[in-house]
Amino acid sequence: MTARIAIGADHRGAAAATSIAQSLRDKGHSIVVFDSCDPAQSCDYPDKAWQVGRAVSAGEADFGILICGTAIGMSIAANKIPGCRAAVVHDELTAELSRSHNDANILCVSADLLGQRLIDKIVTIWLATPFEGGRHARRVDKIARIERGESPSPA
């Protein structure tokens, strides 16, 4: 299955983002890279999280991938955008579970803590893993309620 994927990175994730984008293009995916950062100059991760998150939220991209030093800041920023479920992923298992259980639509990876080979494995597994639905769908629906300012458990 090919997908439309939005990619964003700050200066610390720029090299990893370039590599991921090319690899995914080679696999037939449609890739949009938002404002590639110069690794020699600092740029702010919330700007990239906003661009990718808005693309996913608006349905312009099926998935998003965000890369910064730790992935934590990107995840926090992206999760402020309605409709975004951004997961910090550090290994193959969390890649799989963030998709199968949480229906994560934005993958956040650390450029500083993970090597490119592991990042590539994570991206491959994450994109290949379907959402299981079932009891997990109920929980994702509760997240959407919280996002709308509602109680997750209707009275």
Question: Over the stretch 74-84, which tens digit does the pLDDT of each residue have?
Answer: 999 999 999 99
What are the structure tokens assigned to 155, written together? Answer: 């009275």
Catalytic residue among 11, 37, 43, 68: 68
The fraction of the chain above a pLDDT of 90, given in percent, is: 83
> What domains are there in the chain, each with its CATH number?
4-147 (3.40.1400.10)
**pLDDT (average), residues 17-42:** 88
Residue with tokens 């500083």: 112
Confidence of residue 155 (pLDDT cuts 50, 70, 90): low
Confidence of residue 99 (pLDDT cuts 50, 70, 90): very high
* Residue 59: other Cβ atoms inside 10 A: 9
Angle 22-25-27 from CA coordinates, rounded to 5°: 115
Q: What confidence score (pLDDT) does residue 154 get?
A: 75
Report the run of H or E that residue 87 belongs to, with start and end.
Answer: strand 86-88
Reading the block at residue 95, the tokens are: 């890649």
Decide if 101 is catalytic. Answer: yes
